[in-house]
Amino acid sequence: MKIAQPSFAAAQLRPLSLAILATGLVACGPSPEPQAQQQPQAKAPSAAEVSAFLERANDELNKSVIDYSRASWIAATYINDDSQYLEAKAGKEFSLLSVKLAKEAAQYDKVELDPSSRRQLDALKLTLSFPAPNDEAQAARLAEIGSQMQAMYGKGKYCNDERCYNLGEMSAEFASSRDPELLKELWQGWRQVSPPMRPLYQEQVSIANKGAKDLGFENLSVLWRSNYDMDPDAFAADADAQWLKVKPLYESLQCHVRAKLNAHYGDEVVPANGKIPAHLLGNMWAQTWGNIYPLVKPEGINSSLDVTALIEKAGMTEMDMVKTGEAFFSSLGFEPLPESFWQRSQFIKPRDRDVVCHASAWNIDNVDDLRIKMCIQKNGEDFQTIHHELGHNYYQRAYNQQPVLFRGSANDGFHEALGDVIGLSITPSYLVQIGLLDKEPPADEDLGILMQQALDKIAFLPFGLLVDKWRWQVFNGELSPADYNRGWWNLREQYQGIAAPVSRSEKDFDPGAKYHVPGNTPYTRYFLAFIQQFQFHRALCAKAGYQGPLHRCSIYNNKEVGESLKTMMEMGSSRPWQDAMEAITGQRQLDASAIVDYFAPLKVWLDEQNKDRQCGW
């Protein structure tokens, strides 16, 4: 299981030192005979004591996270009251241990240490996304709430007079249906799952904010933003700066998509100007728009590339799709996946029970018990998702020789970016090499390929940024519980230029209808990943000696590139992410210019299409 990984970012935000408590001294006021009454000062902790503490902390955390991972796996793949109980119990124990160790770590704030030891101590304070206070009852309640909300989401369904839909079936309708009334019904129906979460989420934030304060952070917002080897406010400002680099491209895309949807549905359904109704973009959350490509594609350009059709034509099974993903990594020089991966993963949705189908990658024992959990559909989207999730697994295995506290990615965006950079290499040339495609499409089809990519990659960026912007506002009190839903839609309208298809109120809790909110998974990692993957791709293609258009480059079957990836992956989180970035790209900062480079031909074309349109919202 991939947990939120620690970072060196919060050195300046350490809790108040507990060293004075370790001395046993109590301040009693001035004494008339200070030299006679003063007790001897306790000896300051030594580097050797810190080393012993870290060895114990790594060992205890490893045992606890394995228990938690196993319980969470069962809770996700066998949803029932018993599995929720086991997950909540393990979660409580892990949370309490993490808080205890974090507070112990504070005793060593002033000890002179080597960089690795200092980084591990700081890492202990950032292990949990939702830390519990050092109180067993509140830790138990926090774990119970988290398990309850995930179960609510996993069991969520919508039923009308004709039938019941699970989320996967509704998502399939969003991908294919062009019936605006059905899509509006399903959009609203799925969001019935989340209002019961609202009081639970409010309680959870209150408890976890206390936990964050116990660790020395002002609130959860500061804790979350401290995970990036930067000052928290500087990190947020840099994320905004990267968004501004790609915002003109997004605005051009939104303008073109709105015009095409208006032409298809008419003014009564989609306005010619302003915001796009959220239910018409091919995705339950309007976070990616690739499913509406047929409605917005460049006219006169017919794409011969349909990965879903290629999968069907080849007669690939779900297992074949996973084996193909493994073969990609083997071509880069990585060792095959362990046999246990094939025995223990969940590849398809079981018929006999409720499960969480949301795709995820797991390392149960923090060594090599690697698994993926999916309900694979035989389509191009899941073909790409498989490559992505396996990227997590190979990364997890690469850093398994690091101390437990460093068994994570350089920052959480790196984990996602690594999977996605493999996805960028699922190009026509790759499909030809593996025998799914006879020959590469001609260059005049590239505009269509770029549009398909942009509908997923560029359309996602503002959503990837705003989910945590909403949570940061919730955590720091800027957004009160009475305004949860209003604040959510203010951000969605501001950043995405979309609008809810039906009236929303504070009786609703639309953030809870997105898995990562009840699942307590930070989301900025995905925004970072969508930028970092293009940085990686540009640099790795250059390393491979590729000189053509970036969107046609695949790193498949290049051992030199594989070695470069391994070098970075094996670092885990043992060094600042800037070091890992430099190891692959030669840059030490985030740089969204690679996205602009990748999509430059599409931007020129979009601006031509939009010259007589009123863009913006």
**For residue range 396-416, what is the model confidence (pLDDT) as tens digits?**
999 999 999 999 999 989 998
Going by their DSSP bridges, the two strands 370-373 and 360-363 should be labelled as antiparallel
Contact in structure between 292 and 178 (CB atoms under 8 Å): no
What pLDDT, on a 0 to 100 scale, did the predictor assign at position 127? Answer: 75
Q: How far apart are CA 225 and CA 230, in angstroms?
A: 9
Q: Encode pLDDT of 155-197 as tens digits.
A: 899 999 999 999 989 999 999 999 999 999 999 999 999 999 9
| Annotated domain spans of the chain | 9-24+44-156+193-227, 236-609
Confirm if 301 and 445 have CB atoms less than 8 A apart. Answer: yes
**In whole angstroms, what is the distance from residue 306 CA to residue 408 CA?**
35
Task: Decide if pLDDT at 289 tops 90.
Answer: yes
- Answer whether residue 37 shows pLDDT above 60: no
How many angstroms separate the CA atoms of 594 and 245, rounded?
A: 10
Closest CA to 102 of 231, 226, 206, 229: 226
Q: What is the pLDDT of residue 24?
A: 26
Q: Say what the pLDDT of residue 25 is.
A: 25
In this model, does residue 125 exceed pLDDT 90?
no
* Beta pairing class for 164-166 and 157-159: antiparallel
- What is the structure's pLDDT at 66? 95
What is the band of 34 on the pLDDT scale with cuts at 50, 70, 90?
Answer: very low
pLDDT at 365: 92
Amino acid at 242: Q
Set 516, 560, 570, 582: catalytic member:
516
Of these residues, 93, 326, 389, 416, which one is catalytic?
389
Report how far residue 422's alpha carbon sits from residue 328's, in angstroms, rounded to the nearest whole number: 8
Q: Which amino acid is at 148?
A: Q
Three-state DSSP state, 207: helix
Higher pLDDT among residues 342 and 366, named by residue: 342
Share of the chain above pLDDT 70, in %: 93
pLDDT at 16 over 50: no
Give the helix, strand, coil percentages of the chain, each rounded to 5: 60, 5, 35
Q: Using the predicted structure, report yes or no on whether residue 382 has a pLDDT greater than 60.
A: yes
- Band of the pLDDT at 260, cuts 50, 70, 90? very high
pLDDT at 611 over 90: yes
Q: Which residues of 222-258 are buried (b: 16+ CB within 10 A; e: fewer)?
A: bbbbbbbbbbbeebbebbeebbebbeebbbbbbbbbb
| Chain position carrying tokens 């989609």 | 270
Q: What's the CA gap between 439 and 175, in Å, rounded? A: 28
Q: Is residue 32's pLDDT more than 60? A: no
Using one digit for the tens of pLDDT, what is the confidence trace for 497-519?
999 999 999 999 999 999 999 98
Average pLDDT score over residue span 364-371: 93
What pLDDT was estimated at residue 40?
52
Residue 19: its pLDDT value, please? 25
**What was the pLDDT predicted at 495?**
98
pLDDT per position as a tens digit, 261-279 = 999 999 999 999 999 999 9
pLDDT confidence of 42, banded at 50, 70, 90?
A: low
The SS3 of residue 452 is helix
Element at 363 (helix H, strand E): strand 360-363
Q: How far apart are the first and last CA of the chain?
A: 41
358 is annotated as an active-site residue: no
Between 5 and 465, residue with greater pLDDT: 465
* Mean pLDDT, all residues of the chain: 89
Q: How confident is the model at residue 29, as a pLDDT? A: 32
Q: How confident is the model at residue 83 (pLDDT cuts 50, 70, 90)?
A: very high
Banded model confidence at residue 14, pLDDT cuts 50, 70, 90: very low
Higher pLDDT, 243 or 104: 243
High-pLDDT (> 90) share of the chain, %: 76
- Residue 372, pLDDT > 60, answer yes
389 is catalytic: yes
Q: Is the model's pTM score more than 0.75? A: yes
pLDDT score for 41: 56
